[in-house]
Structure 1
Amino acid sequence: MAKVPPQIMDMVKSKGSTWPIGEGPSQQFCGEEERLSVLASYGGTELVGDAELRGIAEFAAKLCATPMAMVTFVEKDHQRFLARTGLDAETTPRRTSFCAHAMLGSEPMVIPDAREDERFANNPLVTGEPNIRFYAGHPLISAEGAPLGALCVIDSEPRSEGLSDLQQEGLAVLAQAVMRRLGQRRLGRHVNATLRQQEQELRQMIDSVPGIAWRSDDKGNFSHVNARWQELTGLEPPKTKEDWRPVIHPEDWEQTLSLFLQALEQGTLFEAEWRLKHTDGAYRWVQARAVPIVEEGQPVSWFGTVTDVDKAHRISESRDLLARELSHRIKNIFAVVSGLIAIRSRGREEVEGFAKELTDTIRALGTAHDYVRPMSERRGETLSGLLTDLLAPYDPKGGERFTITGPGVKIGARAATPLALIFHELATNSAKYGALSCAEGHVAVTVTDDGEADGRICVTWEERASPCGPGAQQETEGFGSRLLRMAVESQLNGSFERSYSDDGLDVRIVLPHKSIAD
């Protein structure tokens, strides 16, 4: 049969499934090529034996009191019986078809005696089996107006009275029922064909992606894995979770499986990195990711991908190795510089104080470096932890000279060094001139966080040393103060306030949350 043009189905969906009763076929679709294109959209042989059509044909025979009734399609060379009663043949030649004439009319074609009709008198179906005498056929016209065939009733005896009004009306109603059934089947056929085409296109698209793509049910049974799987692994597509074991590195299997099972159980995003075994036996790092498809609050299926990240992973490993080596060398440099200062200042009383200050500053930088160097246990810790480490030398017994309170605000790599310099400078000044310069002095550091991602962190430094007398108030801003202000305002985009009282010093530092986290 001819291929169905897309515009035909568009017309069907816009016009409905029936053609107006009493209106003849559209001239637009009476041309054979156009007519056959519409006919092809119904599926032809797929309709033969349809139970509903057979029931309509049987009822038409009873209604009209005839031994034979058929639902026909008139094809290019044949007349095909989609449903029939009282006749064994499945097709007859088109040139002998009565329905080929009936389908072109606007009303039922009724022939009381075919022997007396010049169109059919010599027709083999009249002169031979099944010896047609009486024929009544209602045209079957598609929704867009193409003549398809007829619903007909046949008798081997002539019937001069033709059909009664009731029988003609009933035949028209049954013909409409036939067209509704045919329309449903055609629309369903089109929908199925569209879905198959879309599925095929989707599979082709998924097969073209560079990584592995898959779909599974909510239990982890895989219904589809794209062609990339077999290209990379050389194995048949997996059906169950266990089928992945041969391609996942033994060291990665248990953790990957555990993460996947947890995601299935909780209906949450699945992400993992592991090593995939290729056809050549080599393992390459991949990133696996899957998301649930949720219906009525419950995951019903999963879509996932496996993407090669081996190059990026190995570059990252190389960079981590280099960073660790550089970090180790920097720590060594701190130690070497401190040693050189100690050696050069030994026996030289005039520089002893400066050497100690310089050594303490280098020690503070070394402490800050512990918070940023790769693989450090302190990396990613909090501001309170950094303060505790920096101020420990000034409070040997712990808690007597210093109190540090506040939430655990995490500090980023870039913030650690300026923060270390700020609080080292405050502690050094306190040891020289403030609360830490006498035994009774005490320093309280309080960290507050407004809890907003784009909010601010406030650190208050309060020195109390009334038994020792007021701390030395600096009227002019020295190098240390300029260092503090530069670190707070220029490097961390914060603000710095300092005020003196009779019993000590109050410092208030306000920093953007983002500056601390970076």
Structure 2
Amino acid sequence: MNAFRGPVNETGAGGSQGPAWSEAQRLSALESYGVLDTPPERAFDEVVELAAQLCAAPIAVVNLISEHRQFFKAEIGLGVRETPLDVSICAHAILQPDLFVVTDTTQDPRFAANPMVTGAPHLRFYAGSLLKTEEGLPLGTLCVLDHKPRPEGLTEQQAFALHVLARQVMAQLELRRALAEREASERRFRVLADAMPQMVWSTLPDGAHDYYNARWYDFTGVPFGSTDGAGWNGMFHPEDQGRAWERWRHSLETGEPYEIEYRLRRADGVYRWALGRAMPVRDSQGRIERWFGTCTDIEDIKATEDALRISEERLRLALGAAEMIGTFVWDAAQDRLTADPGFARLFGQAPEAMGSGVRLAVLVPRIDPDDLARLRRQIGAAMETGSAFEAEFRLRHKAEGTRWVVARGRCAHDAAGRPVRFSGAVVDITERKRAEEGQELLARELSHRIKNIFTVIGGMVTLSASGTSPEVRGFANSLRRRLNALAAAHEYVRPHSAESGPAATETTLRGLLATLLAPYGVEEAARIELLGDDVPVGVKAATSLALILHELATNAAKYGALSRPEGSVTIEGARLGERFGLTWRESGGPEVEGPPVRRGFGTILAERGAITQLGGSIAQDWPREGLVLRLEVPLARLAY
């Protein structure tokens, strides 16, 4: 007797227990394939043709069970695309664990009164194999039907073939959905890229360009697709083409990020300076899948740099001119200040009067009121303590406007400790102040643009990984976290707003550690403790340190001390002559059995940064209580 013959109880072999899924889950899964009400497709039509031939049946259907109807994605022998759900035999079939066979519908009380049994097309035999997702949610069946009963059911070969063909239908549905999801992902990426102020591009692993956003074509004015492949290099200034190509070839060979400044031809033929940057996207094995890059117009920034150079030259000339420097002596007891012509000019006084001496109150109206109270406090403190005096303040001139000056001096005291003479010099630093303001503006603009680039690349990584395998998504998440660590380090040492962090001159290793390790409980002394010496940290050193510390903290949270509530990390810094030592020590985590068998990409990248970027050394010990890592770096490289 055939094992697939005869009607099967709807509850399956397990008795009256219902399905492990809900109807809402099933309908949601069906909706995700986007297949309902789509036109016929050859791939599905061929499946029903083959099923009908193998099972010697006049009717075969790829049937999808919706909420109120059954939709036939492919059919042969029926001549319709859908029927109401109340006449569906497949609606019973999806409740079965596998193959559902009805040898004679007129003898089955569930179907004997079905209009499709009692009337046309007079269905007497049914056999259906489930179309189900990897999660076990049934979407419908691949079924064959006959106008005559079949007491013998299906042969084992026919049943096996129906199973195989049902899996082929699901494979086609999965492929359809994957392609549709990819086209949504690509559409979102293009919308995002076209919204960016930068020119965005991407290449194949070999460096052949295959995509530019709308901003590229708007800026260059070239026809669509004309710069694909290697045509981009012709857009650069002839003097920059060789250098740009050599730098790009180096990145392709080494996998290192690409960064270069070159002159790019605009649509009107004018060459403008641009910053080109690119990052590789790798698969789970570390192979480069694509390169994503940007071109940013920095012509205005270049012009600002030129203006700053001119301002600095003017400043040097100004500081070298005697009339921009003045000296003074103030007799505190007699309140009489004498000064040279340079001082007189700065304060808008007659040189003869200043040579004879004036009361201090004569000079007060020239001082900006917003600076006056502070200046008086600084003078008072210097007179009281005898310490060196230095103050910057503004002077108001009717003809020249506001001028910045810096005053330096010291107050002498008599034997009784009373202030008697306050002498010093005043220097006009207006040009320097203007140059500093320009530099600050440039630094903030560059910081803002770099932060935008981190955001763009992070968005590209997310979009590129969507709809891919879990391995690729995991790699993308890891890459995005590393980018976030670099962005946090950059924001700390180069803040682009007053609220975002300390001034660049105040950045230290301890401050950088606190910023990077905040997500791992740095504020909780019992979890992460910062000890020892602190040192200044520069921009370039911060990025390499960010990668190292990010990898250490991430690994500690996943596998080491921070993976358990009782675990802790101690970070201790120590000056070692001309070098600085940093020790990372874990305890309280899982017991360590020895060094890891395989080093991850992030660990390799961090070690390479410690050696090549910082000029230092890194060593790891693996005692049973936890990892101990020692990093030594020249102090001069840390501040760079």
TM-score (norm 2): 0.39
- Higher RCO (C-alpha under 8 Å, 6+ residues apart): 1
